[in-house]
Structure 1
């Protein structure tokens, strides 16, 4: 290892690897320090259950915001596969079980499904009009994500002003209630505004609007795709690109101090051979802003609060549904559970009052239907599948007094919600590990913080920000700057950060290169 680097990157998650690849390609000596045994952060694939050859995407699951341009620029060996179904929502109406199926691409079956649920074409027509308009907004915003920040006024001038005002100026719940009549349809639309975000649909802060926007603008289409080989394949490809470009990657390196004064910098860490330090010209922080404050010896305010329960399962077979719909179709997209509009708000109010939601909204992803490569050939042949359940409105505060007990009860309620739409007991379908235990793993915000170092278990490192300049002074900047010129945020805490996107890493690298002599 050298005594001096042009750039030291703190954190070897996907954003740090993106930044390292761009900077090393530009000829800068680059060092990445990662505290875990391997790079990847929360975007990893792991064998979770003892003796079971299944590599689950443990913390993050799908990819939308990663720009195709980054994939091309870095020459990533990566396949992102489309799902044949966008979503399926089981519904119990008037004593009958039905399902709202949204195809990808949408066709006659989707219209028929809406009509069977609602009794008319009105909500489907509203659906197509709304998402057509959102598509035009996404197409305008997406290219700017890899450019210096533009002003809100400039972006508004490029899109429909009425839609802009709906999604940017007023609480998202107003648009949902005005445009759609059916409670289930409203919920399917609204759920993208509360994934990883604890807020009412009528929150005046508009944090729910920002969350919705990020879920719909990826690559100008908003499509969420499955990474072949699991999420670990994304970061493995990025690590390979960084090494090929000449970056040095050190794991098991726990950074303890970051110093930067605008001209010079240094980073100190603990590794297998004790404490070490290295001087550098720039530091890129691929950690949460709260973590960076601690590393700089600055006061750390309130930690961000994550708001989700993640449950990973391995099934020996897909369960039959009460609706009679084919489970291979129903689970191929996003499977919504108890996410009616009224249920989302009821769960939020329960959690706000300090109670676990009695009927928790959640959604399920079945990676293996689109990409069976994450399972061994024997598991594929015997009909096994992975399921990941993302429970909505489970803020960290609900687990503060007794994380273990609250985790167990929250998991029971979420899985009971799934089972209520099944024609057979869920437990009969869950595989067992080599010790005979059910293949179930649950992660609360506290568990996520402990496992991957996200403060408060917040998957976005804090509240999402609008992906444009909200202050005229920020126009032309990259949204990665700190109070000193040679210290940049390159993770999810950057403006336009959040999710597995690489945007924070790309934009920090571009900001650095714009000022590097």
Structure 2
């Protein structure tokens, strides 16, 4: 391991944190407030990791949440504990799903929290009350589970029996923890579109069938419906970067030393003390630490330790697209107001049959013929991410999250495959619009349309997400299993802990792994 005569070489910190993503900053703030000396080393030129805001289009004053879009799993206690000046806003509409019934364009509008309009929308779509009643029963069940499970995420890991007892509902446990989710969805609902809307929460970033025996879809679904104890997905005011900027400020106030442009190249530990080697513009350095927290993926941790990497993680399977529009497009559904339809999650080609067909085609090595995706228009909820001139002129942002496009599909021709997938994905959107989305795009200062797309391979290259996996590895149920340790952040080295999405109860914009890693260091 290289050494340097720079001042850092002889320094020793209580904690060195590898990576400056939002979870790492949460850990740094908690540890600094507890009186620990903390050093944060971030490879990129800025903090935030995947939870950042950027102006991706030249000369255009629009700050988009570039990689991570919404906040669900962030506990209010983290915001309060760290005194963060940060807020979220609820979306007035939960989702809108366009479709065609009887040869006529229509759609399903679901208000946040339900209500009379949601009931009426179900009745128009399905011709009766049954599906709405089933919807109410199903989400009442997930709501009860959320209320009981969410508080455990910032506590030591319960064992399986303890979590089951805490939920106290054998039917809910069987539905979410024991049997493939597709069984429950098919038993509860008859309408293909309604089934698909439910299933999408099980597939965000997860490549699986509704009936996958591994229950990967169940684990993904669980984390999507328990956030905040309600399952709401909220818009960060000021964009995702406002959150990580608040965290960086809190960590600095707590005394943490944060350095960007510092790429960690190795970690050596004997279980009680460690040395972390890194490179910056001034050369090579080594810093000592009692504990090392790693916000990077387990694959990256193994590389830094010089160990065999863990089994290849589940690959990422999403397309991320950022757009800026001069106006929202009109819809073919004459009863839909675009400002309502795009205010929540706008589902595209996400009927239950569509999702299964797309999965099977991708599993066979083909791009889905009707790529499923969903769109969010954050500027309808938080126009502050637009410059005043753009907001006054009616501009809007759109972010799109595509499903069932695993990294392996891009291996032979990364750019060509990405462009083909983007074209086919936008074609599925255009099928429900009264005007092509291309006609609504804004243009940057160089005359180029304001649209960018990121494949799983792009996310691996830019953020070092293994195969573009936004969860760093397969999600785990939030209870203790062999080797998970007390907090779910432990590794086989006593003083090296995970503080990123690869920890148990990781994934999403939550801060939970950072909190839990800090608690482990503090011996809580």
Which band: TM-score by shorter chain? over 0.9
Distance 2:337 2:521 in 1: 51
Deviation at 1:137, TM superposition (A): 0.4
Partner of 2:376: 365
Deviation at 1:303, TM superposition (A): 4.8
Question: Is the CA contact (8 Å cut-off) linking 2:484 and 2:504 kept in structure 1?
Answer: no
Residue in structure 1 matching 2:321, options 311, 316, 322: 311
Q: How many residues align?
A: 513
Distance 2:505 2:205 in 1: 16
Deviation at 1:452, TM superposition (A): 1.4
Deviation at 1:290, TM superposition (A): 0.4
Question: Is the CA contact (8 Å cut-off) linking 2:313 and 2:474 kept in structure 1?
Answer: no
1:257 aligns with 2:266: yes
Deviation at 1:161, TM superposition (A): 0.7
Residue in structure 1 matching 2:137, options 82, 104, 129: 129
Partner of 1:470: 481
| Alignment map for 1:64-75 (pairs within 5 Å) | 64-75=72-83
Deviation at 1:155, TM superposition (A): 1.6
Residue in structure 2 matching 1:409, options 388, 403, 420: 420
Deviation at 1:261, TM superposition (A): 1.6
Indicate the SS of the match to 1:12.
coil
| Alignment map for 1:105-504 (pairs within 5 Å) | 105-158=113-166, 159-300=168-309, 301-324=311-334, 325-471=336-482, 477-504=486-513
Deviation at 1:304, TM superposition (A): 4.0
Deviation at 1:450, TM superposition (A): 1.2
Where in structure 1 do 4 or more consecutive aligned residues deviate above 3 Å? none
Query: Given the superposition, is the C-alpha separation of residues 119 and 163 from structure 1 closer, same or farther in structure 2, using an over 3 Å criterion?
Result: same
Distance 1:368 1:180 in 2: 33
Distance 2:321 2:514 in 1: 28
Partner of 2:65: 57
Q: Deviations over 1:12-48 (max 9, x none)?
A: 0000000000000000000000000000000000000
Q: Deviations over 1:46-88 (max 9, x none)?
A: 0001111111100010000010000000000001010000000
Q: Deviations over 1:174-202 (max 9, x none)?
A: 00000000000000000000000000010
The two structures have a TM-score, normalised by structure 1, of: 0.98
Distance 1:354 1:86 in 2: 33
Distance 1:75 1:26 in 2: 14
Residue in structure 1 matching 2:39, options 18, 31, 51: 31
Distance 1:503 1:6 in 2: 21
Partner of 2:103: 95
Deviation at 1:302, TM superposition (A): 2.5
Q: Deviations over 1:226-255 (max 9, x none)?
A: 001100011000000000000000000000
Q: Deviations over 1:123-178 (max 9, x none)?
A: 10000001001100011101100000111111212221111111100000000000
Distance 1:500 1:110 in 2: 28
Distance 1:492 1:157 in 2: 26
Q: Deviations over 1:434-480 (max 9, x none)?
A: 11111110000111111112121110001100011134x757x0000
Distance 1:83 1:187 in 2: 21
Q: Which runs of 5+ in 2 are unaligned?
A: 1-6
Q: Which runs of 5+ in 1 are unaligned?
A: none
Q: Deviations over 1:301-347 (max 9, x none)?
A: 42541110001110000000000210000000000001000100000
Indicate the SS of the match to 2:523.
helix
Of residues 294-303 and 111-120 in structure 1, the stretch that sits farther from structure 2 once superposed is: 294-303
The two structures have a TM-score, normalised by structure 2, of: 0.97
Question: Is the CA contact (8 Å cut-off) linking 2:484 and 2:490 kept in structure 1?
Answer: no
Indicate the SS of the match to 1:201.
coil
Distance 1:72 1:401 in 2: 48
Indicate the SS of the match to 1:19.
helix
Of residues 309-318 and 451-460 in structure 1, the stretch that sits farther from structure 2 once superposed is: 451-460
Distance 2:436 2:281 in 1: 48
Distance 2:479 2:151 in 1: 12
Distance 1:303 1:166 in 2: 26
Distance 1:298 1:279 in 2: 20
Distance 2:261 2:467 in 1: 22
Of residues 197-206 and 153-162 in structure 1, the stretch that sits farther from structure 2 once superposed is: 153-162
Distance 2:44 2:493 in 1: 28
Distance 2:436 2:422 in 1: 16
